[in-house]
């Protein structure tokens, strides 16, 4: 009788141990599966990031775009004021030159000021006909500086004008803007002034544009009330819309769109030799939380239009206004700067 009881006890113990063993086995299998999935995700993400990094490294061209002190009369950049903190100034130079057309002047001159806290960005458009002092060449249109001495002389001209050091410079053609627009699925641009002289009709207000429409939008000037001034504002509005779309979750979390945009943005891009791919990635990530109200675009102050001694049309600099702009940039105080070129 005692033996039978011991047998029953042993069988019961065996039966109760099986579920525990099976449970542990299931947990081990799940752990292995999760580990494999994690490895695949991490490995895939790493491979994708490596692919993007390789795309940028292969596409972006580096050139000696910043002035070198002692070369061609260049001096050191203006000192950075303590109040500026970690604010950065980037110069974007764009060209409307079509393939096969000669032309050494810059059509887009935009100074991008990124605040020290990375929470706001100000795009300052310098009209290409702004009549300024070009080092070594006297008074001339600001885009003539690029024709005389490329990006280094244009940077020297701007640094003398507003008194801030330009940290990095990027050069891109309008066709690159077109590809980037299509890569992100189009952009929603604010149209300040309606027009229909470019083969496309643009109505006042926000308008969704594909690459071809955006290219026509930023090229138009003859059908606009203030010519190149109005054109510059259009270019700023487009750049703002493109920045917001590129930094949106719709693009950043879409591997296909992000890859296409990265390729489009970098295949026609030349930056200064000091602007590494790592620096570019770091700056982009630091601005990923920007929203529409965080990006402001203004026009460098001018008082009106005139005629140069050689008969060319020029934009006359507002000297006190330019000084105020320079001080705001130097002290990272763009939030308190008022754009005097716009009517209330």
Please enumerate in sequence order all residues whose Cβ is within 8 A of that of 240, keeping only pairs 6 or more positions apart, or say none: 123, 292, 295, 297
pLDDT score at 165: 95
Work out the burial of residue 153: count CB atoms within 10 Å of its CB; fewer than 13 is exposed, 13-18 middle, 19 or more buried. Answer: buried
Q: Which among 339, 278, 308, 333 has a CA at the least distance from the CA of 131?
A: 308
- Among the residues of the chain, which ranges form H helices? 2-59, 142-162, 174-183, 211-219, 228-246, 249-252, 255-266, 277-286, 319-330
Statement: residue 19 has pLDDT above 60: no
Please write the tens of the pLDDT for every residue from 254-298: 888 888 888 888 888 889 999 888 888 788 778 777 787 888 888
Q: Which among 85, 96, 95, 91 has a CA at the least distance from the CA of 110?
A: 91
Please write the tens of the pLDDT for every residue from 179-237: 999 999 999 999 999 998 778 999 999 999 999 999 899 888 888 888 888 888 888 88
pLDDT score at 141: 94
**pLDDT (mean) for 244-260:** 85
pLDDT score at 135: 95
Work out the burial of residue 243: count CB atoms within 10 Å of its CB; fewer than 13 is exposed, 13-18 middle, 19 or more buried. Answer: buried
Strand ranges of the sheet holding 302-307, from the earlier edge strand across to the other edge? 138-141, 130-134, 313-317, 302-307
CA 101 vs CA 98, 146, 333: distances in Å:
6, 17, 41
What confidence tier does 32 reach under pLDDT thresholds 50, 70, 90?
low
Query: Measured between alpha carbons, how far is 214 from 299 in angstroms, rounded to an integer?
Result: 20
Task: Annotate 231-264 with DSSP letters as a single string.
Answer: HHHHHHHHHHHHHHHHTSHHHHT-HHHHHHHHHH
Tell me how crowded residue 340 is: count the other CB atoms within 10 A of its CB: 16
Statement: residue 5 has pLDDT above 90: no
């Amino acid at each position: 009788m005692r033996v039978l009881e011991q047998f029953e006890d042993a069988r019961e113990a065996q039966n109760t141990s099986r579920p525990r063993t099976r449970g542990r086995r299931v947990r081990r299998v799940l752990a292995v599966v999760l580990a494999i999935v994690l490895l695949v995700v991490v490995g895939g993400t790493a491979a994708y990031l490596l692919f993007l990094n390789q795309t940028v490294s292969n596409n972006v061209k580096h050139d000696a775009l910043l002035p070198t002190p002692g070369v061609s009369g260049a001096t050191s950049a203006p000192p950075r004021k303590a109040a500026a903190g970690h604010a950065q100034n980037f110069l974007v130079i764009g060209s409307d030159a079509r393939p096969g057309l000669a032309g050494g002047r810059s059509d887009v001159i935009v100074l991008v000021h990124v605040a020290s806290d990375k929470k706001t960005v100000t795009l300052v458009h310098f009209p290409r006909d702004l009549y300024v002092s070009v080092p070594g060449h006297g008074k001339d249109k600001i885009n003539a500086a690029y024709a005389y001495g490329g990006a280094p002389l244009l940077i020297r001209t701007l640094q003398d004008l507003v008194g801030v050091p330009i940290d990095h410079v990027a050069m891109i053609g309008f066709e690159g803007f077109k590809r980037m627009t299509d890569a992100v699925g189009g952009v929603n641009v604010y149209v300040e002034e309606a027009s229909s002289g470019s083969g496309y009709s643009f109505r006042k207000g926000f308008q969704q544009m594909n690459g071809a429409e955006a290219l026509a939008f930023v090229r138009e000037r003859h059908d606009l009330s203030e010519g190149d001034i109005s054109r510059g504002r259009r270019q700023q509005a487009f750049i703002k819309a493109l920045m917001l779309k590129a930094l949106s979750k719709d693009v950043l979390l879409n591997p296909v769109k992000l890859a296409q945009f990265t390729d489009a943005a970098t295949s026609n891009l030349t930056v200064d030799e000091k602007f590494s791919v790592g620096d570019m990635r770091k700056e982009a990530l630091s601005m990923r939380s920007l929203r529409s109200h965080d990006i402001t675009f203004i026009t460098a102050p001018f008082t009106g239009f005139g005629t140069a001694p050689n008969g060319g049309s020029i934009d006359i600099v507002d000297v006190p206004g330019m000084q105020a702009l320079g001080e705001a940039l130097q002290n990272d105080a763009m939030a308190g700067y008022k754009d005097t070129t716009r009517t209330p």
